[in-house]
Structure 1
Amino acid sequence: MSEITVRPLGEEDWQQYRDTRLTALRESPEAFAATVDEEQAFDEDFWRLRMTRSTRLLAERDGSPLGIVSLGRSDERPQTSELFGLWVSPDARGSGVATELVRAGANLARQQGQTQLAYWVGSDNGRAVAFASGFGFRPTADRRPMRVQGDDEDEVAMVLALGGDRGSAPVEF
């Protein structure tokens, strides 16, 4: 089996991001605040602008998309980047794709001089909490309502320290 590769997408890759994002929305509608109908209606200018607002990382094997995640900056915490929109194709789940996407996001944030990486996880989503914890993310006291439509669960901010000591406590979030 070929290696999983992760690469950042540029503005010129907007169609590939759009196609993968729409696939994610169709496959896992419960995981996103947006709907496939809403996003399918957006034009090229919207998608190009979206590509410039955050870094989009695409995981592939042999040129076929396996998953995506976005990396943005926190408005409130200038030294913190935030992972969001993580999705892995069902046939690639459990094969290390999510790990490679998060690792690439953490490395990119570190290269950009960030000291922390935040990842909002549904507090009742034991699998996601375990995945993030295993990666080194630690829960904070920060909570917010889940942004997914029709869900009354809350999300917890989990933070990964990007310094040399991954076991160090995150700065208060």
Structure 2
Amino acid sequence: MTEISVRVLDEEHWSDYKDVRLRALTESPEAFVASVEEEKEYPESRWRDRMNRSRRLLAERDGAVVGVASIGQERYVEEGVAELFGLWVAPEQRGAGVARRLMEAAAQQARKDEMKHIVYWVGTDNGRAVAFASSFGFRPTDSRRPMRIRGVDTDEDAEETAMVLPLGSSGGTPTNL
């Protein structure tokens, strides 16, 4: 297999992000808060605004988009905490290292942006995602929140847990999770 490359998109690449985001929402609606029906109606200005709020990472292999993730400042926690969200890998690429490359690129970008921690919210019943995040160095916390997924019937008791990756020598866990 060829190498996986990851690039950080800028505002001018909003349509690349839109394409993969709508693909992800269509293929894995249960994994996202938003719905494809809602987001496909967004105007260009909203997509451009999203590009400026968070870093959008695009994974490619052989010129084809195979995954996406976003990393941005966690606004509910103390300064210096980034949140990883919107991670998606094309089904035919799962288990082939795409998610790991996206995580590596996200951690590298967070360090570059002088973040001290990355928070990644994972469904408590998603053992595969918890194991993957743990293998990368994320550690579970006691922080939980209800799962919020629009347009998909879910268990009303479904919840997510915050997993934290300390960057550099910061150690510890953010205090306001």
Bin of the TM-score, shorter chain as denominator length? over 0.9
**Aligned-residue offset at 1:43:** 1.1
- Consecutive unaligned residues of structure 1, counting only runs of 5 or more, are none
Corresponding letter in the other structure for 1:82 = E
Which residue does the alignment assign to 1:54? 54
Is the Cα–Cα contact under 8 Å of residues 81 and 174 in structure 2 kept in the other structure? Answer: no
State how far apart, in whole Å, the 1-side matches of 2:166 and 2:33 are.
27
1:158 maps to what in 2?
Answer: 163
- Map 1:1-173 → 2, pairs under 5 A: 1-75=1-75, 76-149=77-150, 150-151=153-154, 152=156, 153-164=158-169, 168-172=171-175, 173=177
Q: Say whether the 8 Å CA contact 1:138–1:169 is kept in structure 2.
A: no
**Residues 15-66 of structure 1 deviation map (CA, whole Å, 9 limit, x = unaligned):** 1100101111111111111111111111111111111111000000122100
Number of residue equivalences: 171
Aligned residue identity for 2:119: A
User: 1:82 & 1:141 partners in 2: Cα distance?
Assistant: 17
Native 8 Å contact 2:78 2:174 kept in 1 = no
8 Å Cα contact 2:25/2:36 also seen in 1: yes
Q: TM-score, normalised by structure 2?
A: 0.92
1:72-97 deviations in Å (ceiling 9; x for gaps):
10112211100000000001100000
CA distance, structure 2, for counterparts of residue 169 and residue 50 of structure 1: 30
Retained in 2: the 8 A contact 1:68–1:101? yes
- Tell me the SS of whatever aligns to 1:22: helix
Whole-Å Cα distance in 2 between the matches of residues 171 and 8 of structure 1? 26
Provide the alpha-carbon RMSD of the alignment. Answer: 1.3
Contact 2:144–2:160 under 8 Å retained in 1: yes
Q: Is the 8 A contact 1:141 1:157 kept in 2?
A: yes
Percent of aligned pairs sharing the same letter: 54
User: Gaps (5+ residues) in structure 2?
Assistant: none
Deviation at 1:170?
Answer: 3.0
In 2, Cα distance between equivalents of 1:61 and 1:131: 21
Write out the 4+ residue segments of structure 1 that deviate beyond 4 Å after TM superposition. none
Distance 1:68 1:116 in 2: 20
Three-state SS of the structure 2 residue aligned to 1:52 is: helix
Partner secondary structure for residue 119 of structure 2: strand
Contact 2:81 2:119 in 1 (8 A): yes
> Relative contact order (C-alpha < 8 Å, sep 6+): which is higher?
2
